[in-house]
Structures are given as C-alpha cells and as structure tokens.
Structure 1
Amino acid sequence: MKKIVGTIAAIALATSAVFADVNVGMGFSRGIFTPFAYDGKDARMDISTSWGGQPRIGGSISGASEDCGVVGDFKFDGGNLAVNDNAYIWVKPTSWLKLNIGQSFDDTLRGNACFGMWDWLRVGGFSITKVLVPGTPGSGNYSVDPATGLIVQATPAVPAVTVKLETTGILTGEDFIFTRICNNPLDGAWAPLVGAILMADPIDGLHIGVGLPIDGYNNQKMEDVFAKMQVQAGYTIDGVGTIKAQWIGGGKNYVKKVGDDPIVWGQIEAAFCLKAVEDMTLDIGAKFRTKEDSPVDVAAYWSMPFDALRVHASVGITYTPKAVGDDAVIGLVVGAAVDYDLGNGVGVTGDIRFGHSFCSADGYDVDPAFAFGAWVNKGIANGTIGIGVQGALRQQIRDFTPSDIDDFTFAVPVRVQCFF
C-alpha cells in the first residue's frame, strides 16, 4: 500500500511539474470606434483596429517545460474564431539552440520605428480610378452610378481616358529598420513564417536566426526552400550597441536578360542599434536588392526621454534608379512625435508626418503628402481608453479612402485596449 501511495505521489508531483507552465488566457485586444470621419465628400463612421479589419479580441494558449513547449494564439475578430500569429511547437536540444516548427516569428533582431499614429488609425497610400475627358478643363467630367459608386460614362460624349492615380505611404512602423524572420518578408506583409526557424545564441552577445519557409505545410524541393531562406545575425557589444546583417531570399526566378536561366535573387540588410546612451534608441539601417535597378532604402529611428517627455523621430530615403525612363526617383518620409506623461495614468501624444518624391525627369510633378494627429490616453484597470483627432492630405486614414487624390480627410478615433 505504501508503495502504491508513493507511486501516486511521485506521478502527481511529476505531473504538476510538467504542467506548471501551462497558460490559457486572453491576451492583447484593441478596438477603435470612429464616431466621425470625413473622406472629402461624406461623413463616415467605423469600427476597426489600427491595422484594419474588425476589432482585435486576442488570446493565447501555451505550455512549456525547460526544454520544449507549444504556443497557440487565437482571435475572435469579426465574431469568428481563428488562429492568430503563432501556432508552433518548440524544442531546445541545448541551452543555446532553439527550433520552432509551425507558424511563428523570430523578433530578436527586428528594428522598428513604431510611434504616434502607428497605434491609432494608421495612414497609408491609396489609389483611385478616374475618367479624364481630353479637352475638358479639370479632371472630373464623368457620371457615377449611385448604387455602385462606379464611373459609368464620361460626359460629354467624347473619347475618354481612364487613369489610375496613386499615392505612396508615409508612415513608418514595424521592420522599418531591420526585418524580422517572417513569411514572404519582401512583400511587406510580414506574416508569421510557416515552416521552421532555427535560433542560436552560441556565445554571449551573438544571435543567429535561420528561417526556412515551407509553404502550406507541404513538402518542398530543398532548392526552393533555400532560394527563399532568411538568414540573419546580430552581435551586441556591451555598452556600445548591436551590429546586424541578413540575407532574405526572393526565390529562383530572376532572369537578367531573355534567354538566361533564372537565378536566385534577394535582399541584403545591415543595421546598427546604438545602446551607448542610457534609455536612448538610435537604430540605423540599409536595405538593397540584388536585382538590377532595384530600390535602395536607408532608414533611421531615434527616441529619447526627457523627464516626463519622450521624443520620437524617423526618416526614410528610397533611391530607385531608372524609375522614370532613365531618371531616378528619390522618395523621402519624415516623422516626429512627442509623448507627455501628465501623471495619474494620463498621457498626451502629438505626431506629424511628411512624404515627398523627387525626380529630374521632364513633366514629373508629384505633390507632397502630410498627416498629423493628437491624442489623449488614460490608463484604466487592465487597459487604456483614449480619444484623438487625425488629419491627412494625399493619404488614406485607415478605412477612409479620400474621394479625390487631393481631398483633405480627418477622423476622430476612440481607442480601447485591454491586457489580461
């Protein structure tokens, strides 16, 4: 009997140890209610998140021992249960090596420039289609079907030209300086990688990450996986900063000239994050692709506290050779913001953004884009609530697409966040 009791006690002890780090709970949730917005033509209302779609109601399930574990994120956006970012199993065969299998990220070396309106209603570039009538002053002689909102006929009845007018985004944010290991990182979506991620920290200060994309959880040719492989490394010098570099494979589909066999192309990134000044962030990086005449990006983000005030600034320059005939285009985005702590859980934020493109080609004439915002936010139990005002010219404020390319738009968002 004593042996049986002892055995049961041992099993119970082992079981409690194994399941000691099992967690099920609600995670980060955010909803933005916009009771009033103006798109240049109509007053609008909306519910959304900062990144679009329905309000985020998020949660997570995880279980871990010292050497292995599982992570599963879920969300109830739009009233539907679905997998969120992470759904993977991990194992640590040694103390310095970790393997993720499934759907996950490696954020260790990621370089962001997230501040101000990034956490409210984000702005971005947009496009509209218009029918221009040759010989008619202005750009608006057309009729619109009120049921569909589509242009149906140009007036007067003369030959018309349909054109697509576009603006580019001016907001900086995630992966602006250095891209995390993720899925299809060159398309700008930065979804979690489906496949395997190896992470190694063999010596103090050194981190190496390798992302192996295996699309759709199906078997892949090894050469196809390696052609889109992501490899990055970072070394931290104590008291100085972190040096980062990586290769992001774009696939074996680049043909330099007709008749050549396709070759592997990709993007090379290098960055440095200064950590020599206490509480200051200074991250500088560059990105360029191995395809001929591809854009080259240089970016920087700086942030510094001054008592109750924190200041943010970012700048990005994109040089695109032969963008207009043989002429290059230089794109510039600049942002600056301040956060001020008023005490008692109340804070205020102000943010302004600017973007413009420059080119010496004849007839190249692009107007600059602007955006601004001001918000007040209050901490509450397990969350925050805030309200603000945002405006933009030649930018789209979240779901509110301007009626015309030069329409000024604005919105009044109310944001609620919960953390459990």
Structure 2
Amino acid sequence: MKKTLIAVAAAAALTATSAFAEITFGAWLRSITGVASNGEDILTGTSNSWGGIRPSRVNVAGTSDDGNAGFKLDIYFNASSGGNYVATTDEEGKKVTGKSDEFLQVGDNAYLWVKPADQIQLSIGKFDGAETGLRGDFCYGSWNWLRPGNWIAEDEGLTFNGSHKNGLMAKITPVDGLVAVVQLPVYNPVWGGNNAAYKNGNNTIEDTFKNGMYAAAYSIEGLGTLKAGFFGDYQESGDYKKTGTVNVAFDLKAVENLYVTVGARFGIADKEMGARNEKIKFTAGASYQVSDAMKFSVSGGYVQYQDKCTGKDGKDDSAFGIGAGVDYVIMDGLNAAADLRYKSNAGGDSDGAISFLVGVTKNVSSNGYIGVGFQGATNGNGLTGITANKNDDFVWAVPVALSVWF
C-alpha cells in the first residue's frame, strides 16, 4: 500500500528541545455492486465483501522519532439511508436502541501505544483482529468478493484467533522468535458499573482476567510458527457455565512456494450452553505457488457442536467443509480467480450447500482495479447482503468490484 508521509515537528512542552514524529496516511477501499437473485426476484445493490457500503476511509498512524510511542486510527465513512440503527446501553446498563445519522465512524483500529522497553509494547483502545500479529488467516476466492454463508470457519482467523476484545494489549518479545500477547477487556469508562464494552456486563478484576486473551507464538527459522492461546469468554446461565476456548495452530513454511496452516480449537464448558457453541473445531489450509502466474489453494475443517444440538435425524451435532480455489495471472494487470466450497448441514432440506465464484479483475492504475464475476450459493445460503427467499433457494449474483489503495 502506497502511503503519504508527513514529518511533523513540535516543540516539547517546557523544554528547549524538539520532538519529531512521522505521521502516515493510507487507505484501502473495496465496493461491490451489480445484480443478483434471491431465488425469486432480481435485485440491485451495493456492498463490500463484509457488508455495508463504505465509499471512503482514511487510516492514520503516528510514530515517534525514537520508535517508542505512537497511535493508530482508522476513520470510515459508512454510507446509509436515513441513518444507522445502533444498540447502546443507558447508565443502568439497560439496552437502548437508537437511530444515528453519524456516518463518519471509528473503523477497525483506534489505539495508542508506548514501549517502556525494547521487548514490551503496551496499547490501549480498539483493535482489529489482526493487530496481535497472531491471527491465522487463509484468504482466497469468494472471501475477496461477496462472501457466501457456507463456511466452517472464516478465512480471516481460519486456524488461529486474532485480537480478542478491546482494552489493554501487551506484546512481549523476550527473545528472537518468541512473542507473547495478553489482552484484557478494560475498555470501559464506567468504573464499578455495568461494562457495555463486552457482553458479560461486569468489570470486576476477576471478570477482567476471566475474559482475557493469553497467547504466544514461536517461530523457527526455516520451518514455521507454533501458536497457542486461551481466549476467555466466561458466561453463566443456570446450571450451565462456559469458560472460553483453547486454540493451537502451526504454520509450515519449510517448503519453497508451499504454505500450510493447521489449527484446533477446544471449547471449555462445564455444561453445554447452547446448540451452536463449538466443542471441538479442526481447520487447515494449504496454498502452492505453481508458477509466477498460478496459485492453488485448498482449505477445510470439521466442527463438533455441543451435545444439545438437535435437527435432521440428529445429524446437526457436527459439520464439515472443504473448499478449493485458483488464482491466475492472465497477463500483466489482468487476473482471474475461481473457487468452489461445500459445507455439510448448511441449511435447507438437503445435507449440505455449495458456493462458487468465477471472477476477473483488471488494473486501471497502480492504485486501483475494476472486476466482474459470477457467484452462486445453493440450499438457502445467501451472499453478502443477499438473503435467500426460501431456505432451499439458489442465490446468484453478478458482482462488479471497484478497489483502490493509497
């Protein structure tokens, strides 16, 4: 991403010295429009891969000259018709639903950071999932267009979770190759009251540590990276109690042009707290760069839900999924992508659902492209912003994608 750099000089307060900082401005945008069918009507609309309409954004970051302090702020303009409905809480912690016409919003990140030592960075604020540096992503095909509903696990964080909750994050790198991350949900302006920043509604010190993230990764040069972590999510309901999730993963990078990532998640609960709570999940992805022009990708997973699941002949207690895709450079600036994905127990009257994409993009400058594709999802599974009319309908779309970056 190309960025504009501005050196900002400011006199240090009450001193005769000057402090210099580097302020970085950047942006990355994608908009997808076109026509689609929900199984009954032909529709028009605009969205992004993740939903909503975001025609503009600015990413701002600052770093001190010595590299020991800084901030990061994402500013998004999310277009809407007549305002966004947002859920808030009053002073007593009761839910209040209101209508907001404020389209200029804080984006994925809004935090400051300091380094009291070379091996320690402390941050406070709002974090995107990738800010820990540990998230196990494996993104290809439909993930970059309109995303279907038949995922076992999303491509972002396929094998390992990212940032857990907003609040305080400490990243510690005691030796080369080792990084430890702790996140605590202390992002709450109401001390001693109900904590609207996370769903448990409490902010005692005990609750804070129960709902923290504690993770580490160790990279072995020439081999790969091993990750492990606990992601607290303490909940109680009657006799049921949920503690959190243990997540382990390994990224293999030992073979040239081959990338492999595998992960496992284990839900910890005294008793099951809901049919769709995940007890065990295994995920994996692999990509191979066949040549400068072609890359193949394959991913999949298996999930076992809590024992309370009921459904089609008792089959809903587990599900599996698999997907495969190819990226191909047709010529300089002209690229093609295609993928096919399947998930069992994905809705409708049959056992599973298929989704697919065929898309082509053409660079229109060094900072932008336009693309067109064809996508579909079976058995009542929709695409981003497009809901099937009936639970067994076939949904299709002809998306036109515009993307720019600075």
TM tier relative to shorter chain = 0.7 to 0.9
Q: What percentage of residue pairs aligned between the two structures are identical?
A: 32
Query: In the superposition, relative to structure 1, how do residues 277 and 255 fare at CA in structure 2: closer, same or farther (>3 Å)?
Result: farther
Work out the CA distance in 1 between the residues paired with 2:328 and 2:16: 50
Tell me whether 1:196 sits opposite 2:168 in the alignment. Answer: yes
Work out the CA distance in 2 between the residues paired with 1:236 and 1:84: 30
Q: What is the root-mean-square deviation of aligned Cα atoms in Å?
A: 2.5
Amino acid at match of 1:18: F
Match of 2:72 in 1: 71
After superposition, give the CA deviation of every residue in 1:267-288 in whole Å (9 maximum; x if it has no partner).
Answer: 1011111111123211100001
Tell me whether 1:89 sits opposite 2:112 in the alignment. Answer: yes
Work out the CA distance in 2 between the residues paired with 1:320 and 1:171: 13
Work out the CA distance in 2 between the residues paired with 1:388 and 1:285: 31
Work out the CA distance in 2 between the residues paired with 1:392 and 1:386: 20
Amino acid at match of 1:119: N
Match of 2:286 in 1: 302
Match of 1:268 in 2: 246
Work out the CA distance in 2 between the residues paired with 1:50 and 1:171: 16
Match of 1:318 in 2: 303
- Structure 1: give runs of 5+ residues left out of the alignment: 1-7, 125-167, 184-192, 258-262, 359-363
Following TM superposition, by how much is the alpha carbon of 1:81 offset from its aligned partner in structure 2, in angstroms? 1.1
Query: In the superposition, relative to structure 1, how do residues 179 and 340 fare at CA in structure 2: closer, same or farther (>3 Å)?
Result: same
Work out the CA distance in 2 between the residues paired with 1:283 and 1:64: 32
Following TM superposition, by how much is the alpha carbon of 1:103 offset from its aligned partner in structure 2, in angstroms? 1.2
Following TM superposition, by how much is the alpha carbon of 1:397 offset from its aligned partner in structure 2, in angstroms? 1.2
TM-score (norm 1): 0.77
Q: Structure 2 residue aligned with 1:245, among 206, 228, 231?
A: 228
Work out the CA distance in 2 between the residues paired with 1:252 and 1:372: 37
Please give the secondary structure, in 2, of the residue aligned with 1:341: strand
Instruction: Report the count of equivalent residues.
Output: 344
Query: In the superposition, relative to structure 1, how do residues 227 and 385 fare at CA in structure 2: closer, same or farther (>3 Å)?
Result: same
- Structure 2: give runs of 5+ residues left out of the alignment: 1-10, 81-102, 192-202, 273-277
Structure possessing the higher radius of gyration over alpha carbons = 1
Match of 1:383 in 2: 368
After superposition, give the CA deviation of every residue in 1:322-381 in whole Å (9 maximum; x if it has no partner).
Answer: 3239956220111100000112211101110111139xxxxx974210111100011232
Work out the CA distance in 1 between the residues paired with 2:232 and 2:238: 15
Work out the CA distance in 2 between the residues paired with 1:347 and 1:12: 56
Work out the CA distance in 2 between the residues paired with 1:37 and 1:170: 24
Please give the secondary structure, in 2, of the residue aligned with 1:295: strand
In 2, are the aligned partners of 1:372 and 1:392 still within 8 Å (CA)? yes
Following TM superposition, by how much is the alpha carbon of 1:197 offset from its aligned partner in structure 2, in angstroms? 0.3
In 2, are the aligned partners of 1:90 and 1:98 still within 8 Å (CA)? yes
Match of 2:218 in 1: 235
In 2, are the aligned partners of 1:318 and 1:332 still within 8 Å (CA)? yes
Please give the secondary structure, in 2, of the residue aligned with 1:396: coil
Match of 1:188 in 2: none
After superposition, give the CA deviation of every residue in 1:218-248 in whole Å (9 maximum; x if it has no partner).
Answer: 3331111001000000111111111111001
In 1, are the aligned partners of 2:75 and 2:104 still within 8 Å (CA)? yes
Query: In the superposition, relative to structure 1, how do residues 56 and 277 fare at CA in structure 2: closer, same or farther (>3 Å)?
Result: farther
Match of 2:344 in 1: 356
Match of 2:127 in 1: 104
Following TM superposition, by how much is the alpha carbon of 1:113 offset from its aligned partner in structure 2, in angstroms? 2.3
Q: Summarize the alignment of residues 128-207 of structure 1 with structure 2, pairs less than 5 Å apart.
A: 169=151, 172-183=154-165, 193=166, 195-207=167-179
TM-score (norm 2): 0.79
Work out the CA distance in 2 between the residues paired with 1:215 and 1:62: 20
In 2, are the aligned partners of 1:318 and 1:331 still within 8 Å (CA)? yes
Query: In the superposition, relative to structure 1, how do residues 205 and 26 fare at CA in structure 2: closer, same or farther (>3 Å)?
Result: closer
Following TM superposition, by how much is the alpha carbon of 1:254 offset from its aligned partner in structure 2, in angstroms? 6.2
Amino acid at match of 1:331: A
Please give the secondary structure, in 1, of the residue aligned with 2:321: strand
Q: Structure 2 residue aligned with 1:279, among 243, 257, 270?
A: 257
Match of 1:209 in 2: 181
Work out the CA distance in 2 between the residues paired with 1:122 and 1:57: 21
Match of 1:330 in 2: 318
Query: In the superposition, relative to structure 1, how do residues 118 and 171 fare at CA in structure 2: closer, same or farther (>3 Å)?
Result: farther
Work out the CA distance in 1 between the residues paired with 2:152 and 2:357: 14
Work out the CA distance in 2 between the residues paired with 1:300 and 1:286: 9
